[in-house]
Every structure is written in structure tokens, then in C-alpha cells.
Chains A and B, each alone.
Chain A
Amino acid sequence: MNTLIIILATICFTIAFAQPKKTIPVTQSDTYKRGKEVYAKVCLSCHMVDGGGVPKLNPPLIKTDYVLGDKKKLIYIVLNGMTDRIPIDDEYYSNNMASHKDLTHQQIADVLTFIRNSFGNKASIVTIAEVKAVRGLK
């Protein structure tokens, strides 16, 4: 037992000191913090505080391909809303999602980075350039 603890501790220290602290975690970045504010203001009322959504009405944002998969598709949904009655992970959702074209490139990049790294999700960040590309601006 004691040996195991010593081995584990050694591994932990090795990892901790070997990793140069160059990158801060996404969840501590400014983009994530700003994204959290956008989420609270624009998204939370339907997708809920924990991203769990509302069964049959508003889809969850947790561990779904819509959030974690193709970023272009995700950006497109924020810009144009969604009124299709298509199953999301085998469930249908009734409420239309409005378009959020009025959000800035920065706000969309921030909020999508936030949802892709919250509620148990872990995925790459969304950049302003990626949002611009989908909106059709250079």
C-alpha cells in the first residue's frame, strides 16, 4: 500500500514539474469567462444553467455531436437558429431556436468555446476567424 502511494506521488510530481506552465486551461481563459457571460444572457433560459436542456422542448448541450462535432455546423446554428424538426441523439425537440446574428464574432467564439468546455464537454476552442468564415465575412 505504502509503496503504491510513493510511486503515485512520484509520478504526480514528475508530471507536475516536467510540464512547463506555458498554457493555461481553457476554463481559466478570458474567452471562456466572457463566453460564460454570453451564455447566461442569451442561452441559459432555454438550455438551462447546467446545459441539460429541457426534454422534448430544448435540446441538451451535453456530450452531443452537435456541440462537440463540426464547428462550422455549430456556428451556423447560432447564426441562423434552428427550426428543423430533426432528431438530436434520437429525441425530437419542439421549440424553435431563434437566429443570433446580432452577436459579434467575438461573442459567438467565446460562447461556443464556453459550451464546448463546460457541462462535462471537452473540445477545441472556437476562434473569431472560424466564426467569420461561416458568416461569410473576411
Chain B
Amino acid sequence: MKKYLSFIILIFFGLICFAQNKPAGLTLPKGFTALKIAEGYGKVRHIAITKQGDIYVKLNKLIQGKGILYFKKESSQKYTLANSFGNYKGTGIYIKDNYLYTSSDEEVFRYHLNEKGEVTNTNNPEKIITGLPNKGEHESKSIVLDNNGNIYVNIGAYSNSCQEKDREKGSMGMSPCPVLEEAGGIWQFKADKNNQTEKMGTRYATGLRNVVGLDWNTQTNSLFVMQHGRDQLHDLFPDLYDTKQSAELPAECMYELHKGTNCGWPYIYYDHLVNKKIVAPEYGGDGKKSSNDYQNPAIAFPGHLAPNGLLFYTGNKFPAKYKNGAFIAFHGSWNRAPLPQEGYYVVFVPFVNGKPTGQWEVFANGFAGAVKTPHGAAHRPCGLSQDSDGALYVTDDTNGAIFKIDYTGK
């Protein structure tokens, strides 16, 4: 008995040591290394990095009453929590020039950064946008800025597919969908004007169910977003879709947006298996009837992977193929039963001349650990950012970790 016990203890310590030698536990392409530089901060959503390499993250659950954490860079491998502020939860955080922009689920704030990249007014940010709709579904407000003083804000649709009765079997779609009056798209505001309401902003793009990951592409000088596609085709219309079709469909789409772009939610969805926009069953579709209206995706991914972060890589540290390509953090699926759940990884899409080449690949995998389910996963990728040296950062909103991925060539 004692023999066994010491054996078990030995294995246990062996595992701990092993884990410490492989700190991040991620699978990466050859030449890349990953380091877990922070862990245990709960719901860490999006991330922004200063010129100096210090890190700000937005929390979706307050820690000791604070919703923004500031990590100071001690060395390329060591970051220390130096400050926390902001008494609101949320998702969006972005740095442009000398300002840190952050969002709650209803408002957008901006803080002034000094020459060291430190916030000078932690208790008195400017409130630039206020009173955005939050009905408890798709309520996160992701943000990004362009190079012309504009800020773009996602206002997610508080509905799955605009049915008369949300998520009720057979319930048909409302026409026109009233949710689109104040949600289901991207709004553009001035970055330097206080107290703007939704009505004071510009409806930049519509027909987007919910966007969490978005980024400004400096090559094309345009906004790219990742849409979270609709759920439950089989549960709601079992005569039209079997469980496997419902697991694969609809595609998770990347769209390039310009002013006035309409991506078609809730009237259509994109089927990446036949490369067509399909009329939604709530609006008279039969699973096959296609539509020529609405924007085509720039690239489409398998269903339900839940893209929560998008980043165009502009650094010089990674090999040339990564330059100006897109990294996408897929939070991971919940509604792909009876198929196994998918996602829980970071994907890379090469871009040539501002267009994706269509060949996407899993770049960083292994975040979930042994159990690839929403509540069993060790980590779920959420936000992405890069520092001025060209390293890539991935946040996790399950166990509050920050991963730093670097290229060594070895």
C-alpha cells in the first residue's frame, strides 16, 4: 500500500514539474513559443498594449470592484499587475495615439495616457458614448478606431434569428425585423466628442447578428468584423435540418465593411459547404433557397466556433507569410452536438493584397486542455493584440489567463 502511495506521489510531482517546464501547454507551428504571463484574473476579455509593451485588459466580471487591469512589463517574460481601475464590467479595450478606449455594455470611455503609457485619469475618464442598448443578450460592445478620428462600436442583436418568440420551435421571423432599428450592426462615432448617444452616431453597417472580434485593416483602410452566426437550425426547424447540418451550419463569417454594408441577418445565413447565402427558415427558406442580396463574406469558417478576437498582424517578428494576415481567436462552440465541440483555438488566415487567400490554418491550439466543452475547458481564447516588438497576445475569459506567443525560429 505504502509503495503505491509513494509511486502516486512521485507521478503527481512529476506532472507538476512537467507542467512547469511547458508553461503555456499550447501547440504552435515550428519556431514559435508560448508563455502564460498571467492567470487567475477571471473573465479577461479584450486586450490593448502600449508602445512601452505594458498591458491593459478589460474584465467582464469585476475583481475587487475594478474592471480594467494594468500589467507592467518587467522583462519580455515577466509582467506584474501594477494598477486596476474602472468600476464597470465589459469587453472592449483599444489604444489609439495617447488614449485608452474602453467599453461597458452600455457606454464607451476614454482615458488619457502619459508618455509612459500610464492612465492619468483613472477615476475621471471622458464618457464619449452613452445609453447604448443592453437587453442581456449579445450585449458586449466591442470597439476599434480608424486613422481618421472615428470609433466603431458593435451593437449586437438581442435575438437569435428575430423570431416572434425567440428560440421557440417553428416561430417565424418578424418582418421587417424590429431589432435592426437599434441593434444588429456597427455604429460609427467621433472618438473625441463626449456624451454621444446612439442616434448621434452613424449606422455604419447592418445585418450583423453579433460581432465580438473586429479590427481596422491598415492595408485596405477598412473595417473587418467576425460575425457570430445564428444558433439552433435543427432545434427550431427539425423538418428542414438534421442535427449534423445544424452542427455545421451556418458558417461563422468574416466581413469587410464599408459605410452602408448589409450582411443580411436575420433574413439569410451563409452556407460554407455550398458557398451560398441561404434564406433563413424563419423567412420562408427551406435550407436550399438562396439569395443574391446582401454582402458576401471575405472568408467563411465552420459553424458555431464563436470568433471573439480579430487581429491583423502588422509586426515584423513573425515570418513573412504572417505579415498583414489575420489572427482569429475562436472562443469555442457549444451547439455542435452530436458532433464534438470545436474551436478553442487561434486561427491564421494569410492575406494577399487585402484579400484572404482562403487557406486558413489552426495557429495555436490546446487552450481547452483535456475537455473541449464550454464549462470544462481550461482556457477559452477571447482577445488578441500585438506589441511593438511583434509578439502576439491571447486572452482567456475562463481562467483569466494571458498568453504571449513569440517567434524564436528554433
Q: Which residues of A contact B (CB under 8 A)?
A: 44-46, 48-50, 52-55, 57-58, 60, 81, 83, 85, 92, 94-99, 102
Please state if B374 and A95 are interface contacts (CB–CB under 8 Å): no
Please state if A99 and B136 are interface contacts (CB–CB under 8 Å): no
10 closest residue pairs by CB, A with B: A85-B136, A52-B375, A98-B168, A54-B334, A54-B374, A94-B137, A96-B166, A98-B167, A96-B167, A45-B235
Name A55's contact: one of B136, B139, B169, B398 (CB within 8 Å). B398
Take A48-B334, A54-B374, A54-B375 as given contacts and tell me if A94 and B138 are in contact as well, using a CB distance cutoff of 8 Å: yes
Would you call B22 an interface residue if the criterion is a C-beta within 8 Å of the partner chain's C-beta atoms?
Answer: no
Q: How far is the CA of A97 from the CA of B235 in the complex (A)?
A: 12
6 contacts between A and B (CB under 8 A): A45-B232, A48-B337, A54-B334, A55-B374, A58-B334, A92-B136
Q: How far is the CA of A46 from the CA of B235 in the complex (A)?
A: 10
Q: How far is the CA of A83 from the CA of B160 in the complex (A)?
A: 13
Take A45-B235, A98-B165 as given contacts and tell me if A60 and B375 are in contact as well, using a CB distance cutoff of 8 Å: yes
Which of chain A's residues has its CB closest to B168's CB?
Answer: A98
Q: Which of A45, A49, A92, A97 has the most chain B CB within a 10 Å cutoff?
A: A45
Q: Which residues of B contact A92 (CB under 8 A)?
A: 136
Please state if A98 and B136 are interface contacts (CB–CB under 8 Å): no
- Nearest-neighbour CB distance to chain B for A115, whole angstroms, equals 16
- Nearest-neighbour CB distance to chain A for B183, whole angstroms, equals 14
- Nearest-neighbour CB distance to chain A for B373, whole angstroms, equals 6
Q: How far is the CA of A60 from the CA of B375 in the complex (A)?
A: 9
- Nearest-neighbour CB distance to chain A for B161, whole angstroms, equals 12
Q: How far is the CA of A132 from the CA of B33 in the complex (A)?
A: 60
Would you call B335 an interface residue if the criterion is a C-beta within 8 Å of the partner chain's C-beta atoms?
Answer: yes
Q: Which residues of A contact B137 (CB under 8 A)?
A: 94-96
Which of chain A's residues has its CB closest to B135's CB?
Answer: A85
Q: Which residues of B contact A54 (CB under 8 A)?
A: 334, 374-375
Q: Which residues of B contact A44 (CB under 8 A)?
A: 337
Please state if B139 and A94 are interface contacts (CB–CB under 8 Å): yes
Please state if A53 and B375 are interface contacts (CB–CB under 8 Å): yes
Q: How far is the CA of A90 from the CA of B145 in the complex (A)?
A: 34
Would you call B260 an interface residue if the criterion is a C-beta within 8 Å of the partner chain's C-beta atoms?
Answer: no
- Nearest-neighbour CB distance to chain A for B346, whole angstroms, equals 19
Which of chain B's residues has its CB closest to A91's CB?
Answer: B61
Q: Which residues of A contact B235 (CB under 8 A)?
A: 45
- Nearest-neighbour CB distance to chain A for B7, whole angstroms, equals 19
Give how many B residues have a beta carbon under 8 Å from the other chain's beta carbons. Answer: 23
Would you call B376 an interface residue if the criterion is a C-beta within 8 Å of the partner chain's C-beta atoms?
Answer: yes
Give chain B interface residues in 305-339, CB to chain A under 8 Å: 334-335, 337
Take A48-B334, A54-B375, A96-B137 as given contacts and tell me if A83 and B166 are in contact as well, using a CB distance cutoff of 8 Å: yes
- Nearest-neighbour CB distance to chain B for A84, whole angstroms, equals 9
Q: How far is the CA of A99 from the CA of B398 in the complex (A)?
A: 30
Please state if B168 and A81 are interface contacts (CB–CB under 8 Å): yes
Please state if B136 and A94 are interface contacts (CB–CB under 8 Å): yes
- Nearest-neighbour CB distance to chain A for B112, whole angstroms, equals 32
Q: How far is the CA of A56 from the CA of B335 in the complex (A)?
A: 14
- Nearest-neighbour CB distance to chain B for A79, whole angstroms, equals 13
Q: Which residues of A contact B334 (CB under 8 A)?
A: 46, 48, 54, 57-58
Name B376's contact: one of A52, A58, A99 (CB within 8 Å). A52
- Nearest-neighbour CB distance to chain A for B397, whole angstroms, equals 9
Please state if A98 and B373 are interface contacts (CB–CB under 8 Å): no
Which of chain A's residues has its CB closest to B336's CB?
Answer: A45
Give chain B interface residues in 148-177, CB to chain A under 8 Å: 160, 165-169
Q: How far is the CA of A45 from the CA of B138 in the complex (A)?
A: 19
Q: Which residues of B contact A83 (CB under 8 A)?
A: 166
Q: Which residues of B contact A46 (CB under 8 A)?
A: 334-335
- Nearest-neighbour CB distance to chain A for B171, whole angstroms, equals 8
Q: How far is the CA of A55 from the CA of B397 in the complex (A)?
A: 10
Q: How far is the CA of A132 from the CA of B230 in the complex (A)?
A: 35
Q: Which residues of A contact B138 (CB under 8 A)?
A: 94
Which of chain B's residues has its CB closest to A83's CB?
Answer: B166
Take A58-B334, A94-B139, A96-B137 as given contacts and tell me if A52 and B373 are in contact as well, using a CB distance cutoff of 8 Å: yes
Q: How far is the CA of A102 from the CA of B160 in the complex (A)?
A: 21
Which of chain B's residues has its CB closest to A52's CB?
Answer: B375
Q: How far is the CA of A124 from the CA of B133 in the complex (A)?
A: 42
Q: Which residues of A contact B398 (CB under 8 A)?
A: 55
Please state if B169 and A98 are interface contacts (CB–CB under 8 Å): yes
Please state if A49 and B136 are interface contacts (CB–CB under 8 Å): no
Please state if B139 and A97 are interface contacts (CB–CB under 8 Å): no
Which of chain B's residues has its CB closest to A43's CB?
Answer: B235
Q: How far is the CA of A54 from the CA of B343 in the complex (A)?
A: 14
Q: How far is the CA of A44 from the CA of B231 in the complex (A)?
A: 14
Q: How far is the CA of A57 from the CA of B394 in the complex (A)?
A: 22
Besides the known contacts A55-B398, A58-B334, 15 further A-B residue pairs in the complex with CB atoms under 8 A apart: A44-B337, A45-B234, A46-B335, A48-B374, A50-B376, A54-B374, A54-B375, A55-B374, A85-B135, A92-B136, A94-B136, A94-B138, A95-B167, A97-B167, A102-B169
